Amino acid sequence: MAELLKDNEKVTGSEKTAVNKNREPVKKVRRPLLEIKNITKKYGENVAVDNVDLTIYEGEIFALLGSSGCGKSTLLRMIAGFENPTSGSIILDGEDIIGVPPYKRHLNMMFQSYALFPHMTVAQNIAFGLKQEKLPKKVIEERVNQMLKLVHMEEYVDRKPHQLSGGQRQRVALARSLAKQPKLLLLDEPMGALDKKLREQMRLELVNIIESVGVTCVMVTHDQEEAMTMAERIAIMNRGEFIQVGSPRQIYENPNCCFAAEFIGSVNMFESTLITSGPDVGSVIRCKDLEHDIHLDIDVDLDDGMEVTVAIRPEKIYLEKTMPVDENGQPLKDNYTTGVVTEIAYMGDISIYHVKLNSGKVVISTLPNVDRFNKGLPTWDDKVFLSWDPESCVTLTF
Amino acid sequence: MAEDVKENNAAQAATIVRTVRKNPRCTRSSILKFIFLSFGFMFLYLPIATLIVFSFNESKLVTIWSGFSVKWYFELLSDRQMIDAVLNSLIIAFSSASMSVIIGTLAAIVLVKIGRFKGESMFALFITAPMVLPDVIIGLSMLLLFVAMSNIIGWPEKGMVTIWISMVTLTSAYVTVVVRSRMRELDTSIEEAALDLGAGPIKTFFTIILPSIMPAIVSGWLLAFTLSMDDLVITQFVAGPNSSTLPVLVFSKVRRGLNPEINALATIIVFIVSVCTFVYWLSRVRADRRRKRDMRLALNRKD
């Protein structure tokens, strides 16, 4: 077993270079570990999970992100075996696990409330799963020590759960779910029971531990920040369906629909009409709220005259008091509009500007405060020019 | 009553303290408080105090004091009938409490853990019905059942067994209620965690659920023990000639004329109960102090 762990460490060593902190989509071909096929779960007439397909690859950290009641927890509980799907199949490492009871599945779960056994010490909690495998006492002891070391809880072996703080409980829960060296680790709202400050600190620590062990991980969360910092890939769920699956960057930069764009971060949405588009001319989009057309360099490949929504992130809108110019110093012909600053929210690192356009629509734009104070940027009631790069616009059809 | 007095008192104390801010030890309110408290305690404990005092009475008459003596205690120890009654009571209380803990826990598991089934609410109603039914009715119905049974199959004869069965019927209702409410509070994810870690359902029950509901089972047992130790009405109906329990014996003696032996017995019981209560209180205080210290310990450590 100790050898196995060493092997794992070697693998993670090489992976660490691939899985860097930016979490670019990993190019390396990975083996699929968990395949979910056409899973549906109905409670009477209510459809909790609606015909979902998902493949999770070995060694990745995957997040199911959605608001409460979107079916993400139900999906996780079906993987763990606490709920039976109405139809579909779940294949873990080549083996169909539908109908296999939770105590016979080679995966472990860390619960939202941690679910530590209150009458057992930290060591007994961690050893519980190993005892069920009827391992020799010495092996269990060794593994428990290994786990305690991994989560830096060696001093607390003999404490009971109620003698630990929230963060310490989480570490014990993690150690307990990793002790059996599962093929797959499930995390249910891992930071749900922690306060905000501790949450931010534990996020990276949790990822570091998971990566050092090299276990594949599926987590459920409603916190987009948590999903983006911890996961390599995210699935946004709504009403039992996947809206978009991709890396955090893909989802933020290229959302595939209005729901995904609005769910992650904040965004300005412009309901508009496609005027023309073609491979040579790019695309021209007209919005009644904007004084000038949106002109994209790319061909959006849609029918002319179609209703589209253009999404622009607040940090990608430039705010200036003077007429914006292009790289040649010529005034812009399109991709800009004018408005009046109505609100400025000072957030420390950035300021959030609310700019009212002539049509009455309020556009949000964020500026780093370094600029704001150095350059004397616009203030309340200033008339400002809003402009954007063509590549900052995302055209959405639904 | 005592609470009422205290509340009254607190309200008065509040108004007075607001107006008169003098030495808090000698205000009118503190004197009033003392008087009310004394009345409350007297109301509750004067009868028991009288009983204890009269247990050392020399006279044969319970109500007339004639001098200090401990002779009734020796008399009590040589009273075979009385000792047998105490033993009977203890045996029945112990065995019926143990049985009703098993039945009550099983019933609680059925009600909480097994999902909805047909007739569930009916089952819940019937299992707890003995709590609200008058004892006379339970006793009478038990008697009728036992008579009918012994006519048909020749079993059971009136005696310890019939008392035991009746007591189990009564007390398992209480145990069910106590254990069920504890089980409802139990975090289901603890059970799921055990399953997730590879323990089967039976193993999970014995290693995780049972230890978690143990406090409720213990208090259910104690409740059942006290109830059956104390029962007079039902036992009167189903007791046989040689199976008098302590309450039955005392009650029959009262009708034939009381002697201070009863006082001596009551004093011993009061003494035992007080010692038990005191030990329990002390252990609670200790546990509470330990818990507070643990919490401080956990909070002081940064993660």
> Is B269 a domain residue?
no
Supply the pLDDT for residue A27.
52
Query: Which of B193, B211, B303 minimises the CB distance to A165?
Result: B303
User: Quick one: B109 and B253 in the same domain?
Assistant: yes
Supply the pLDDT for residue A373.
61
> Is B283 a domain residue?
no
Query: Which of A165, A167, A180 minimises the CB distance to B197?
Result: A180
Query: Which of B195, B196, B301 minimises the CB distance to A165?
Result: B301
Closest chain B C-alpha to A142 CA, distance in angstroms: 18
Q: Which residues of B touch A165 (CB under 8 A)?
A: 298-299, 301, 303
CB contact B297 to A (< 8 Å): yes
pLDDT tens-digit series, residues B122-172:
888 888 899 999 999 999 999 999 999 999 998 888 889 999 999 999 999
H helices of chain A, in order, are 2-18, 72-80, 122-132, 137-150, 166-178, 196-213, 224-230, 248-253, 258-263, 369-375
User: Quick one: B209 and B118 in the same domain?
Assistant: yes
User: Quick one: B156 and B10 in the same domain?
Assistant: no
Q: Which of A107-111, A201-205, B101-105, B212-216 has the lowest mean pLDDT?
A: A201-205
User: Quick one: B36 and B154 in the same domain?
Assistant: no
CB contact B205 to A (< 8 Å): no
Which range marks the domain in which residue B236 is found? 83-258
User: Quick one: B16 and B101 in the same domain?
Assistant: no
User: Quick one: B151 and B237 in the same domain?
Assistant: yes
For position B152, which CATH number holds? 1.10.3720.10
Chain A CA closest to residue B214: A119
> In B, residues 275-294, which contact A (CB 8 Å cutoff)?
291, 294
CB contact A200 to B (< 8 Å): no
3-state secondary structure string across chain B: CHHHHHHHHHHHHHHHHHHCCCCHHHCHHHHHHHHHHHHHHHHHHHHHHHHHHHHCECCCCCCCCCCECCHHHHHHHHCHHHHHHHHHHHHHHHHHHHHHHHHHHHHHHHHHCCCCCCCHHHHHHHHHHHHHCCHHHHHHHHHHHHHHHHHHCCCCCCCHHHHHHHHHHHHHHHHHHHHHHHHHHCCHHHHHHHHHCCCCHHHHHHHHHHHHHHHHHHHHHHHHHHHHHHCCHHHHHHCCCCCCCHHHHHHHHHHHCCCCHHHHHHHHHHHHHHHHHHHHHHHHHHHHHHHHHHHHHHHHCCC
Which residues lie below 8 Å from residue B234, measured CB to CB, with a gap of 6+? Answer: B135, B138, B139, B142, B166, B167, B170
> Is B303 a domain residue?
no
pLDDT tens-digit series, residues A81-130:
999 999 999 999 999 999 999 999 999 999 999 999 999 999 999 999 99
User: Quick one: B109 and B233 in the same domain?
Assistant: yes
Total domains, chain B: 2
Please report the domains of chain A, with CATH numbers, ordered by start residue.
Answer: 2-8+36-259 (3.40.50.300), 266-396 (2.40.50.140)
ipTM strictly over 0.85? no
CB contact B303 to A (< 8 Å): yes
> Is B165 a domain residue?
yes
CB atoms within 10 A of CB A18: 13
Verify whether the Cβ–Cβ distance A101 to B301 is below 8 Å.
no
User: Quick one: B107 and B239 in the same domain?
Assistant: yes
> Is B215 a domain residue?
yes
CA dist., res. B211 & res. B105, Å (int): 13
> Is B290 a domain residue?
no
- Judging by beta carbons within 10 Å of its beta carbon (0-12, 13-18, 19+), is residue B206 exposed, middle or buried? exposed
User: Quick one: B239 and B98 in the same domain?
Assistant: yes
Q: Which of B175, B23, B159 is nearest to B98 (CA)?
A: B175
User: Quick one: B32 and B141 in the same domain?
Assistant: no
Closest chain A C-alpha to B298 CA, distance in angstroms: 5
User: Quick one: B133 and B235 in the same domain?
Assistant: yes
Supply the pLDDT for residue A10.
40
> Is B289 a domain residue?
no
Q: Which residues of A touch B218 (CB under 8 A)?
A: none
Residue B209 contacts residue B186 (beta carbons within 8 Å)? yes
pLDDT tens-digit series, residues A242-255:
999 999 999 999 99
Mean pLDDT of A203-214: 90
> Is B198 a domain residue?
yes
Closest chain A C-alpha to B290 CA, distance in angstroms: 10
User: Quick one: B32 and B133 in the same domain?
Assistant: no
